[in-house]
Amino acid sequence: MNTQQMITKGDADNLKKLFKTYSQLNDEEEVVSISGKLIQKSSECTKEDLIEIFDKVYEIVNKSRKAFHYITELEQVETSKGRLKNTEYLKDYKKTISIKATLTLKKFIKDLKKSVDLMQEDDKEKLIFLSLNLADYYRYLSEITLDSGIKMEHIK
């Protein structure tokens, strides 16, 4: 069974092992993919598991957020100095970061939203925890997409 099959058909325990492995390898795309699938099995995860997942995904997303904001600052400096060619390069780079981060976030948010929608009301603490994190990830998405010129579509 290859990694993609394990992600698609894996139970929570196997997904946790994959999550830890890819986290150590710093393979960000796989970590986010596995995290999303693991979140969908949140009823089989402890709160500590969920915190570890959210921390790792936040770390990945935050790199893009920081880069996006830093490039915005550089762009303003270059514009104020009249270096329009540099400003254009920075805009293009910022757009690239924004597109990649937006796609990553939308994928994770979609999985997280499914988990919240399927969560049983008898586990109110976990439902609230997931809902609060969902709101945070929507905020991160809006930070990266509003200034980039990318139309933010409703996530279904």
Residue spans of the domains in the chain: they are 3-145
How far apart CA 71 and CA 94 sit, in angstroms, is 6
CA angle 139, 60, 9 (to 5 degrees): 100
Phi-psi region of 64 (alpha: psi -120 to 50; beta: other; left: phi over 0): alpha
DSSP letter at 94?
H
Rounded average pLDDT over 2-12: 57
Residue 149, pLDDT score = 47
pLDDT in tens, 108-119: 899 888 888 877
How far apart CA 39 and CA 129 sit, in angstroms, is 12
**SS3 sequence of 21-87:** HHHHHCCHHHHHHHHHHHHHCHHHCCHHHHHHHHHHHHHHHHHHHHHHHHHHHHHHHHHHCCCHHHH
How far apart CA 147 and CA 149 sit, in angstroms, is 6
Between residues 74 and 30, which one has the greater pLDDT? 74
pLDDT in tens, 133-144: 999 999 989 888
Between residues 17 and 152, which one has the greater pLDDT? 17
Residue 152, pLDDT score = 46
How far apart CA 87 and CA 119 sit, in angstroms, is 46
Integer CA distances (angstroms), 39 to 27, 88, 106, 143, in order: 18, 39, 14, 23
Residue 154, pLDDT score = 44
Residue 80, pLDDT score = 93
Confidence of residue 155 (pLDDT cuts 50, 70, 90): very low
Q: Is pLDDT of 6 > 70?
A: no
pLDDT in tens, 50-76: 888 888 888 888 888 898 889 989 999
Rounded average pLDDT over 150-155: 47
DSSP letter at 146?
T
**CATH 1.10.10.10 corresponds to the domain 3-145:** no
